Amino acid sequence: MATANNPRKILVTSALPYANGSIHLGHLVEYIQTDIWVRFHKMQGHQVHYVCADDTHGTPIMLRAEKEGITPETLIANVHKEHSADFSEFLVQFDNYYSTNAPENKELSQSIYKKLKAAGKISTKTIEQFYDPVKNMFLPDRFIKGECPKCHAKDQYGDSCEVCGATYNPTELINAYSAVSGAAPVRKETEHYFFKLSECEQFLKDWTRSGTLQGEAANKMGEWFENGLNDWDISRDAPYFGFEIPDAPGKYFYVWLDAPIGYMASFKKLCAENHPSGDENQKSGLNFDEYWAKDSQTELYHFIGKDILYFHALFWPATLEFSGHRKPTQIFAHGFLTVNGEKMSKSRGTFVTARSYLDHIKNPEYLRYYYAAKLNSTMEDIDLNLEDFVARVNSDLVGKYINIASRTAGFINKRFEGQLNPSANNTVVSEIKASANVIAESYTAREYGKALREIMRLADLANGFVADKAPWVMAKQEGQDAVLQEVCSDALEMFRLLTLYLKPVLPKLAGEIEQFLNIAPLSWDAVATSLLSQHRINAYEHLITRVDGKQIEAMTEANKENLQATPTLTPAPHSQQRHAEHQQAASAEAAEAEYISIDDFTKVDLRIAKIVNAEHVEGAEKLLKLSLDIGEDKPRQVFAGIKSAYDPATLIGRLTVMVANLAPRKMKFGMSEGMVLAASDERGGPFILSPDVGAAAGMKVK
């Protein structure tokens, strides 16, 4: 066991976000989970370093930069700035946030490759791949599209069909085309470099059994072993944004080779920063080799999403082992985020970026708290239920926790000039202190939900104590001052302890409370101390406010609008996908948001409609009842939400456009047999459409 004089030396990483998009609420699950774990261990007095970086290489980055007319270097520098700001505002405190496109990473990648080669783990093989003859480049599967060989759905990606779920090789696609240039790809031979993973099976089996993985993850590994391990293709042909392979002109490391090495590079940079002279083996503290040499005694933990377990549990330990480095102590995989029980969705407005959350909800600690309340050590998905989010934050943080200080500090400040006088032994205080170990164990085991349940149970005890003692009654009675002071002091001591327990999750709030209580920054061993009599606290200022459900609505609304305002042209990666081109399946929905086929469009039966009657609907705030002639025997009855903008009398006789084959819907005031089209956004509306002169009722719009 580590002691105060001999702290554990721990290096922690989170997965590298791909420099191709913004950080969103899904990403944050991992960074918040990791950050809480790191902060907790730092509070315990251990020497913990938390590093991360942007994952910057690969074809998607190259092509996006080209499309934007900037260099890849400029693109990744912009993204790095954005990512850094997002993390910082969410209080994710990296010791270094770097980039895989860095000299340290290049050097490490090349040196590791050379060691693997010297160990006989590298081979070459000529393979045949699709090639874009217009762009003069080989195409990753994701950039080849065509007709599914099984169900003949159009515009499917090169590896799997979104419609029928079939998987296949890009060579099986019918009428394949390049998503980059549109040209028909040709097949072309090229020599690729492989890491001989097939030879690492025994090593990996042993490593897997050594307690490095969660049970579920180990099961998953077993499945992969059963299927047999294939060699890993680690090269890509120019043009490619990445590091060139030594002695292999025109060949580059596949992004997934140098990405995890980015963990090392980021740490190496941190070591250098700690050494002003630049001589990293001379100066204080951090020594790169102490953490990464084969016989390292330090601990190394990777927090990752379950989607990239394959890379971290197979390739990465094998790469480290056969290049003469230490292996990870443990790999912690977590599940994905769903919002309101479903995948994050752009059309529902639940695909929320970190920035958008900050713009609308403001306080990042609400999200940290909510995620922590949901997180456990398994790979299960966690759900962000927005209603639950509001209820939980308001009830737990404001109603229970902060309320303890809010309801007692006033007495101390007004009646005793901020001076405390706690009792010698309060049973509730003792019980709260007694939970320190249980809570610490839960944090260590990444069972944050369990930790917070316990903390909230303790907060209930504290509120019960206050209710039981009823200081407001004492305040009105003569001669009760001493007891009043004692009760409120004890409540604040309880509040101090709860703050300590919550500090890994709510570091900023804890800082403000330390100021309010006028105490030194809380570390875990401060459980053993107490607020002393004579100690003076500062004036209580309101610490946090409640979340308003309207803020949530505004956020989801804004994210819906964003989609319409700025449709992206590049294939949007799946909500959870952030790791380069191996992630090929863009969600059907995301794809839909960009383009629909002509077949989709013709499903909508648009007709010119003559408004033969329009009238107000009694009891309806927004609706007008329209009768629309579209050349049928009887006019259609349609309720349209345009009352705010139109006087019914002025509408009669006008021509407009309606959707004629929308499923009839029963509304409060009767059946609505279609929909009238109208334009609107924050600038105004609705404005109904009018056809040009000559159009007649019943004409089809196409």
Partner RNA sequence: GGUGAUGUAGCUCAGCUGGUUAGAGCACAGGAUUCAUAAUCCUGGGGUCGUGGGUUCAAGUCCCACUUUCACCA
Contact positions with RNA (CB under 7 A) in 536-575:
542, 545-546, 574
When binding is defined by CB under 7 A, the residue of 82, 132, 159, 581 that contacts RNA is: 159
Compare residues 45 and 399 and give the one whose CB is closer to RNA: 399
Judged by CB under 7 A, the chain residues 484 through 543 that form the site for RNA are 542
Compare residues 49 and 392 and give the one whose CB is closer to RNA: 392
Compare residues 97 and 401 and give the one whose CB is closer to RNA: 401
Determine whether 108 is exposed, middle or buried from the number of CB atoms within 10 Å of its CB (0-12, 13-18, 19+): buried
* Binding of residue 27 to RNA (CB under 7 A): no
When binding is defined by CB under 7 A, the residue of 153, 229, 677, 701 that contacts RNA is: 229
* Binding of residue 398 to RNA (CB under 7 A): yes
Please name the residue ranges forming H helices in 518-566. 549-565
When binding is defined by CB under 7 A, the residue of 223, 279, 417, 618 that contacts RNA is: 223
Judged by CB under 7 A, the chain residues 91 through 110 that form the site for RNA are none
Judged by CB under 7 A, the chain residues 676 through 695 that form the site for RNA are none
Tell me the closest approach of the beta carbon of residue 68 to RNA, in angstroms: 27
Judged by CB under 7 A, the chain residues 315 through 354 that form the site for RNA are 336, 338, 341-343
Compare residues 391 and 677 and give the one whose CB is closer to RNA: 391
The one-letter code for the residue type at 374 is: K
Tell me the closest approach of the beta carbon of residue 403 to RNA, in angstroms: 3
Tell me the closest approach of the beta carbon of residue 435 to RNA, in angstroms: 15
Compare residues 43 and 314 and give the one whose CB is closer to RNA: 314
For the sheet with 156-157, list strands across it. Answer: 156-157, 144-147, 174-178
Task: Say if CB 235 and CB 192 are below 8 A apart.
Answer: yes
When binding is defined by CB under 7 A, the residue of 34, 323, 576, 656 that contacts RNA is: 576
Compare residues 10 and 432 and give the one whose CB is closer to RNA: 432
Tell me the closest approach of the beta carbon of residue 218 to RNA, in angstroms: 9
Tell me the closest approach of the beta carbon of residue 328 to RNA, in angstroms: 19
Task: Say if CB 394 and CB 546 are below 8 A apart.
Answer: yes
Q: Which stretch binds RNA (CB under 7 A): 7-15, 56-64, 201-209, 405-413?
A: 405-413
* Binding of residue 150 to RNA (CB under 7 A): no
- What 3-state class would DSSP assign to 103? helix
When binding is defined by CB under 7 A, the residue of 120, 133, 165, 653 that contacts RNA is: 165
* Binding of residue 83 to RNA (CB under 7 A): no
- Name the token pair of 265: 């590079």
Compare residues 367 and 676 and give the one whose CB is closer to RNA: 367
Tell me the closest approach of the beta carbon of residue 202 to RNA, in angstroms: 15
Cα-Cα end-to-end distance for the chain: 74
Tell me the closest approach of the beta carbon of residue 539 to RNA, in angstroms: 13
The answer, yes or no, to whether the previous bond of 686 is cis (omega within 30 of 0) is: yes
Tell me the closest approach of the beta carbon of residue 190 to RNA, in angstroms: 16
Compare residues 9 and 469 and give the one whose CB is closer to RNA: 469
Determine whether 672 is exposed, middle or buried from the number of CB atoms within 10 Å of its CB (0-12, 13-18, 19+): buried
Total residues binding RNA (CB under 7 A): 71
When binding is defined by CB under 7 A, the residue of 220, 269, 312, 503 that contacts RNA is: 220
Classify strands 606-616 and 624-629 as parallel, antiparallel or unpaired.
Answer: antiparallel
* Binding of residue 582 to RNA (CB under 7 A): yes
Give the Cα separation of 265 and 112 in Å (integer).
12
Judged by CB under 7 A, the chain residues 430 through 469 that form the site for RNA are 449-450, 453, 456-457, 460, 463-464, 466-468
Query: Any idea how long the chain is?
Result: 702
Q: What's the angle, vertex CA 463, arms to CA 461 and CA 466, rounded to 5?
A: 110
Tell me the closest approach of the beta carbon of residue 389 to RNA, in angstroms: 9
Q: How far are the Cα atoms of 126, 249, 305, 582 from residue 257, in angstroms, in the given order? A: 19, 17, 18, 12
Tell me the closest approach of the beta carbon of residue 424 to RNA, in angstroms: 23
- What 3-state class would DSSP assign to 567? coil
Compare residues 72 and 242 and give the one whose CB is closer to RNA: 242
Judged by CB under 7 A, the chain residues 364 through 393 that form the site for RNA are 374, 376, 378-383, 385, 387-388, 391-392
Give the Cα separation of 383 and 20 in Å (integer).
25
Beta strands in 55-91 (DSSP E): none
Q: Which stretch binds RNA (CB under 7 A): 91-99, 171-179, 217-225, 238-246?
A: 217-225
The separation between CA 687 and the C-alpha centre of its own chain, rounded to angstroms, equals: 38
Compare residues 114 and 453 and give the one whose CB is closer to RNA: 453
- Here the contacts of 281-290 (C-beta below 8 Å, separation 24 or greater) are 286/49, 288/264, 290/9
Tell me the closest approach of the beta carbon of residue 694 to RNA, in angstroms: 48
Compare residues 468 and 692 and give the one whose CB is closer to RNA: 468
Rounded to the nearest 5 percent, the helix, strand and coil shares of the chain are: 45, 20, 40
When binding is defined by CB under 7 A, the residue of 88, 395, 427, 690 that contacts RNA is: 395
Task: Say if CB 123 and CB 196 are below 8 A apart.
Answer: yes
Q: How far are the Cα atoms of 59, 200, 228, 230, 422 from residue 125, in angstroms, in the given order? A: 21, 19, 19, 13, 76
Give the Cα separation of 660 and 630 in Å (integer).
8
Compare residues 104 and 159 and give the one whose CB is closer to RNA: 159
* Binding of residue 477 to RNA (CB under 7 A): no
The helix (run of H) or strand (run of E) holding residue 289 is helix 288-292
When binding is defined by CB under 7 A, the residue of 55, 132, 396, 493 that contacts RNA is: 396
Compare residues 133 and 464 and give the one whose CB is closer to RNA: 464
Compare residues 60 and 635 and give the one whose CB is closer to RNA: 60
Give the Cα separation of 49 and 466 in Å (integer).
41
- Residues ≥6 apart with Cβ < 8 Å to 194: 122, 123, 124, 125, 231, 232, 233, 234, 235
When binding is defined by CB under 7 A, the residue of 69, 228, 479, 619 that contacts RNA is: 228
